[in-house]
Amino acid sequence: MRTYPLFRGVAIATLLVYATLKNYSGSHWILDVIVFNAVALLAIVSIFISPVPDDFYGRLGIALAIMFWTIGSIASSISSYFNLPSQLNFDLITDISYSIFYPLALFGLTRSLIHRTISRTLETLDVVIVTLGITTISAAFLLKPAMASISGTRLEVFVAILYPVGDLVIFVATLVLVFVRSLSWRSALLLIGITIYTISDFYFLYTSQRGTYEFGSPSDMGWLVGFIFISESFWHRSNEEEGARSFNPAIASLALLGSSAILAISVLQPGYFPRFIIAPAFATIAISFIRMGVAINDARNMSNEQILARTDELTGLANRRKFMVDFAEFCEGPGSVLILDLDGFKPVNDQHGHDVGDQLLVQVARRFERAVPHGSLLARLGGDEFGALIRNEDGRDIALALRATLSYPFQILDQEFRLDVSIGEAKNIPGQIPSDQLLRRADVAMYEAKRSRSGVCSWSEQLGAQGSRL
């Protein structure tokens, strides 16, 4: 393990050896086939031996991407130096290997930069929309002038288009992913590496089209430097504890608008943009609709979760959590707090089972709901206990009305059940009574109503302090 950090410098040293020998001795197959590609292979090894914990699949994706690039580079170098039989189509191997580089690199970069902290669907779709949108706009305007100089078979034209589009995709994706995260050594080095690689690839494509490309050109060195920066990034941690920044929806909107405009121009004026631009433009719009559907569904689920978090599952009333949250606001104005405890419920529950008991609680809740005035809160606090926050009404009158709802029997499974309720009432005087004292007073009054069998009891100083169970 201690020798690992030393190995980080081997790829750099090999690159310097290559550059020095290239400068003084010129081209040689050992230099351009073996030494050159050894730098990329050493970068792969450096990625895998890094002791920094991270996403394994992100590391694997990047390593495989560089591996396929190296296979393509070796095949290209061999075909340039040696007269090989026509049956051995090394150019096809080169094109396939270079093409595989892009999806693997995109996968690895995404896994390495997103992490679990921002792996939510909406954020991922935002990244995809922005990446596709910016790539579409860039490709439409940057590659349009170059299309006139591209010729050959359909496969050759496809490959010639694939490389710059692929470069734009991985560069924009990396830029967007870095933007939505707090900057770290990991993300900065990855961005630098991808930027150098993209610039080098565009320079290679430019010189290739002009027929001026030679082994050892700046693009060759740029590819390797880019890979070294990428491999170095895996020796640094990300700032995962800082989390992701919120994604500005305006950026995604502009990417969508640009893609829509390009698609509209392509339909109204065929041939103005290259035909390959239509696919990513359409994909940007389609994914935007998918994102809209996901956003609506997430909002609905979030709303449902919030409702369930503050709702009693059995009765559908507010639960204790909701009651206590609303109670803090309730204390700012006049009103009354009611604590209700059912009388005679436990024997029914014990003798007839929880199913009957649950049905009875549901019916009780429905009756109580009808007696509580609009704007008030009725909650099930737990078991057979309920609470009510009565605003701008006489709490004692409401308590009497609540008790009256239980004056006639309940019908469950052809059996009749009768219940009563003990209700304690405490009036709120804003600014004069602490909130915890107000609840205690209502609770004490409820116990007095139960003790005296009066049904309803309002707090008075004569009751004294008797503690609280809330």
CA-based nearest residue to 72, from 91, 44, 46:
91
Question: Which amino acid appears at position 418 of this protein?
Answer: R
Residue 210 has a pLDDT of: 78
Q: What is the mean pLDDT of residues 220-232?
A: 92
Please provide residue 144's backbone torsions phi and psi, each rounded to the nearest 5 degrees.
Answer: -55, -45
Least confident span in 31-40, 268-277, 392-401, 440-449:
268-277
Q: What is the mean pLDDT of residues 147-153?
A: 61
Q: What is the mean pLDDT of residues 427-441?
A: 84
Joined together, the tokens standing for residue 415 give: 């059996």
Strands (E), 271-397: 335-343, 377-382, 385-391
Domain ranges of the chain: 4-303, 320-463
Q: What is the 3-state secondary structure (H, E, C) of 62-125?
A: HHHHHHHHHHHHHHHHHHHHCCCCCCCCHHHHHHHHHHHHHHHHHHHHHHHHHCHHHCCHHHHH
CA distance 28 to 343: 98
**CATH 3.30.70.270: does it fit domain 320-463?**
yes
CA distance 349 to 354: 6
Q: What is the mean pLDDT of residues 116-127?
A: 63
CA atoms within 13 A on the CB side of 319: 11
CA distance 469 to 327: 16
Q: What is the mean pLDDT of residues 336-355?
A: 91
Give residue-wise pLDDT tens across range 161-181: 788 888 888 998 888 888 776
Residue with tokens 């914990």: 53
* Helix, strand, coil percentages for the chain (3-state, nearest 5): 65, 10, 25
Q: What is the pTM of this model?
A: 0.60
- Beta strand 377-382 with 335-343: parallel, antiparallel or unpaired? unpaired
Q: How far apart are the first and last CA of the chain?
A: 58
CA distance 409 to 394: 27
Q: Which stretch of DSSP H or E encloses residue 221? A: helix 218-233
CA-based nearest residue to 342, from 310, 315, 323:
315
Q: What is the mean pLDDT of residues 435-441?
A: 87
Q: What is the mean pLDDT of residues 260-289?
A: 80
CA-based nearest residue to 378, from 319, 450, 466, 436:
319
CA distance 329 to 365: 24
Number of Cβ atoms within 10 Å of the Cβ of 401: 15
CA distance 456 to 447: 10
CA distance 470 to 14: 73
Return the higher-pLDDT residue of 32 and 356: 356
Residue 1 has a pLDDT of: 43
Give residue-wise pLDDT tens across range 58-94: 899 999 999 999 999 999 888 888 876 665 678 888 8
